[in-house]
Chain A
Amino acid sequence: QQQVKQSPQSLIVQKGGISIINCAYENTAFDYFPWYQQFPGKGPALLIAIRPDVSEKKEGRFTISFNKSAKQFSLHIMDSQPGDSATYFCAASKTGSARQLTFGSGTQLTVLP
Chain B
Amino acid sequence: DTAVSQTPKYLVTQMGNDKSIKCEQNLGHDTMYWYKQDSKKFLKIMFSYNNKELIINETVPNRFSPKSPDKAHLNLHINSLELGDSAVYFCASSQGQASEKLFFGSGTQLSVL
- Give residues in A with beta carbon < 8 Å to B: 32, 34, 36, 38, 41-46, 49, 87, 89, 93, 95-99, 101, 103, 105-106, 108
Contact = CB atoms under 8 A, between A and B. Distances in A.
Given A42-B106, A43-B90, A43-B105, A103 B43 contact: yes
Given A98-B31, A105-B41, A105-B42, A93 B100 contact: yes
A99 B106 contact: no
Contact of B4 (A32, A43, A96): A43
Contact of B104 (A41, A45, A108): A45
Q: What band does the interface of chain B fall in when counting residues whose beta carbon is under 8 Å from A?
A: 20 to 34
21 contacts: A34-B100, A36-B102, A38-B41, A41-B107, A43-B92, A43-B104, A43-B106, A43-B107, A44-B104, A89-B43, A98-B33, A98-B94, A98-B99, A98-B102, A99-B31, A99-B45, A99-B55, A99-B94, A105-B41, A105-B42, A106-B40
A93 B42 CA distance: 16
Nearest to B49: A99
B97 interface: yes
Interface of B: 4, 31, 33, 40-45, 48, 55-56, 90, 92, 94, 97-107
Contacts of B102: 36, 44, 46, 98, 101
B100 A95 contact: yes
Contact of A105 (B40, B48, B56, B103): B40
A13 B105 CA distance: 28
Contacts of A108: 41
Contacts of A105: 40-42
A99 B48 CA distance: 7
